[in-house]
Structure formats: structure tokens, C-alpha cells
Amino acid sequence: MMTSRRHFLKNTGLAALALPFIQFDSSKDWSIRSLKYSSAEGDAYWAQVRKQFPLKEGQTYFNNGTMGPTPGYVLDKMIHHMIHYNTEAATIDYKDGSGPELLSGYFPYVELREKLGRIVNCDYKELSLTQNATIGMNLVGQGLDLKAGDELINTNQEHGGGFGVWQLLAKRKGCIYKQAIMPEPANDPQAIIDAIFKQVTPKTKVIAVPHIISGYGTVMPVKAICTEAKRRGIFTVLDGAQCVGHVKVDVKTIGCDAYYSSLHKWLLAPPGSGLLYINKNVVGNIWSTIASYNWDNQDDHGFRLMQHGTGSPYQMTGYEAAVDFYNTIGEERWLARIHELGSYLRNGLKQLPHVTIHSSTNESMAAGITTYAVKGISGPDLQKTMWERERLQPRSVGENLLRHSVHIYNSKTEIDKALNLIAQLG
């Protein structure tokens, strides 16, 4: 009897742990045909978009700056791929030539890179598929020929994944690591440019700064920074972890030497979906960091740099599906909706005298991330209060700050809930 009871408790305990992972309905039609051919406009259209996400009703996710929820269409593609290749392993293998598709880390994925190239405006051979922004940063930093005394410039508002390799190179190679002090809040692009170039000397070899500052959501004047850096012969690396699928990214117009991003955030791709761009005019000077079959490929440098051995083909299927989801809605409509919701939140916060906005309120330097403080309540307590009272989930990013991200699956009604709750705390 006791053994049976233990067995029951063990199994029910495991079942309880599994419950959060069995909510996705793979039998549902997650097709994006309805979005592609929809004639709906305004809020009616975005209500259709919201149905593409298997998010729980009654809960609001406001933390896209950390991780974007994956659309049902993308999850469905991944699940079907996973089941097919595991069910048909013996059938597929190498006998019909598709066996290598089980090993994602050895292949060029030209079609996916071409799609991404159209989004960020570059040739696919200038793009590498990476796991995330941190990997991209390291492929650039570790691949550069730097020596003792070379100066490397970051800002004081880097994400933790945005400064690591530059500090490592300072310790390992004797490079000089410097940080430009960013204004807070930042509302004047020239103040940012001046702060960065105040640190520049004849020894400066690299300027590595965010396109969007992760903590505050500030959209940096990257084109002006890269133009001036190029005039001085300085290599530019942009941290675009928060950017692709959030703001317009045109690497050729920006004029940077290298650009990396994490697409599990604003493009809503599955975790492990990153990209790295390196301009074709400089990529030949970047050493391969991870060496595999094609480590010295001089025709396709993007492929050369993305060698990493066996990876997940299911994730790559999801990556491409996320790009297709983005393209179905359309870049202009997608990006405009994010900015519309971000502006709506900021305008509401400006009406509350007990709120201090730490993000830019210059709308040309802002998008979907707004960071703010509410007088008399800490950031962690504000996050907790929002969840307990209204099931709203932004993210505390400091002792007194809350970072509030909005995306296409959010609504003005959800933002109003947050604003009404904050008003009650005054």
C-alpha cells in the first residue's frame, strides 16, 4: 500500500511539473494564411496577431527585452520537424542524402541567410548564423588582430554580454579598455556622440557600442558614430541584441564594420537564433574563432565564421519560420506597431507626477523599451505588485527601476492596466 502511494505521489508530482510544458496545442491550425490575406486594420488586425501566440489569457507579458514569446506558427514548425526526423531517423539517415540535415552546424543555410540579408540589407555571404549576440561579439573580438596598447571603447551602459570580450582582450593581450559615460536620460544625439569621441585617441582601434541600450531602450545615433569612426580609421562593432525586429536595421546605411544581434528577442525566434554581419571589405582580416570543415572558406566568409559542429536542426527550422512570420506581417507595419505602443506607454507615464522616466523621451531615440521609476516603491516591489494585482509582467532592472517592453502581441488595453495601477500608487 505504501509503495503504491509513493508511486502515485511520484507520478503525480512529475505530472504537475510537466503541466506548464503541455499547454501548446499542436493540433490547432497555426497557419499564418489569415494574417497574410487579412483585410482587417488597426486594433482588429492586431487582435488577429495576438491569437498567433499561445500565451495564457489573463496574463500580460511585458519583458520582450529579455526573451520574446515564440509564435504558435514557429513552434508548430519546430515540433513537426522534431517528430519527423526522430520518427524517420533510419529512413532518412544518409541513404537519400538528407541525413546531414540532422546536423545543423555544418551547413550554410543560404536561403535563410538570404532572407536575413534582405532584412538588414547585406549580401548573405556577409552574414553568419550564430546562437546569440554574445557569440557574435566574441567571433568579432577574438578574430581581430589586436595588440598591447590598442584602445577599445565601450559605454558605461553595456549589457553584460556587450563588454566581456573587450575586457578579456585587455587582460589577455594588454589592450586598453575604456568606457564612454552615457547621459541619462539621453535625449540629445550629439551628447552621446561627444561622450564617445571624448575617449578617442590615436591609439583607439575599436569602438563597440549598442545600437539600442538594453537597460534604457535608448536608440543610439549609430550612423553618425560610425561615419566619424570611419573617418578616423577606427573599426566599429554594434551590439544589436535589442534591434532586429524592433527598429529598422540597415547595416549599409549605418556604415558599421560589424553588427550582431539576438533574434530570440524582438524577431520572436526560438532561443539560439542570432546573426553576425561583417562587412565584406574587412571580413578577410577576421580570423575564424571556431575551426571546422570550412574554417578557411574564402568565398563565403559568413559561412566560414559560423562553423560550430553539431547543432539543433529543429531550432534552425524555427528560426526560418520566425523570419517568415515577420515578413508575413511586414516590416513597416511590425516596427510601427512597436513604436506606437512604446509611445503610448511613455505618454501615459508623463502624466503621472510620481513617475520618473529614465529612458529617452525623444521619440526619435525611443521604441519599445521604457525604463522608469515610481516614487516610494522599489523596482522589485513594483514588479511584484504589477503581477499580484493585474498579472502584468515587466522586469525590474535595478533597485528602483522597472524596464517595460511592449510588442505586437500587446494591446493598449494592457498598457492602460499598467498605467492605472501605477496611478494608484501615487
Domain that holds residue 232: 99-324
The DSSP output letter for 184 is S
Evaluate whether 391 touches 321 at the Cβ level (below 8 Å).
Answer: no
Contacts of 404 (CB under 8 A, 6+ apart): 62, 345, 369, 370, 371, 372, 394, 395, 418
CA distance 123 to 117: 6
Residue 85 has what pLDDT? 82
Nearest of 199, 188, 260, 183 to residue 224 by alpha carbon: 188
Residue 88 has what pLDDT? 80
Residue 9 has what pLDDT? 42
Q: Look at residue 105 and tell me if it is in a domain.
A: yes
Evaluate whether 158 touches 211 at the Cβ level (below 8 Å).
Answer: no
Cα–Cα distances in Å, from 357 out to 185, 191, 354, 377, 402? 8, 18, 10, 14, 10
CA distance 364 to 222: 13
Q: Look at residue 291 and tell me if it is in a domain.
A: yes
Low-confidence stretches of the chain (pLDDT < 70) are: 1-24, 26, 93-102
CA distance 262 to 206: 21
**Number of domains the chain is built from:** 1
CA distance 323 to 325: 5
* Other beta carbons less than 10 A from residue 336's beta carbon: 12
Contacts of 280 (CB under 8 A, 6+ apart): 123, 125, 126, 301
Q: Dihedral through CA 331, CA 336, CA 341, CA 343, nearest 10?
A: 140
Name 259's bridge partners. Answer: 238, 277
pLDDT in tens, 103-162: 777 789 999 999 999 999 999 999 999 999 999 999 999 999 999 999 999 999 998 778
Q: Look at residue 298 and tell me if it is in a domain.
A: yes
Coil, helix or strand for 177?
Answer: strand
The DSSP output letter for 63 is -
Contacts of 193 (CB under 8 A, 6+ apart): 221, 224, 225, 228
Residue 208 has what pLDDT? 97
Q: Look at residue 120 and tell me if it is in a domain.
A: yes
Evaluate whether 146 touches 116 at the Cβ level (below 8 Å).
Answer: no
Q: How crowded is the C-beta side of 379, counted as CA atoms within 13 Å?
A: 17
Q: Look at residue 393 and tell me if it is in a domain.
A: no
* Other beta carbons less than 10 A from residue 213's beta carbon: 27
Residue 102 has what pLDDT? 65
CATH number for the domain that contains residue 193: 3.40.640.10
Residue type, 180: A
Q: Look at residue 233 and tell me if it is in a domain.
A: yes
CA distance 422 to 171: 45
Residue 8 has what pLDDT? 41
Q: For the whole model, what pTM was predicted?
A: 0.92
Residue 187 has what pLDDT? 96
Place of cell 553568419: 128
Phi, psi of 256 (to 5 degrees): -80, 160
Phi, psi of 244 (to 5 degrees): -65, 120
CA distance 160 to 381: 24
Q: Look at residue 397 and tell me if it is in a domain.
A: no
Q: Look at residue 254 and tell me if it is in a domain.
A: yes
Angle of CA points 85, 87, 88, to nearest 5° = 65
Coil, helix or strand for 14?
Answer: helix
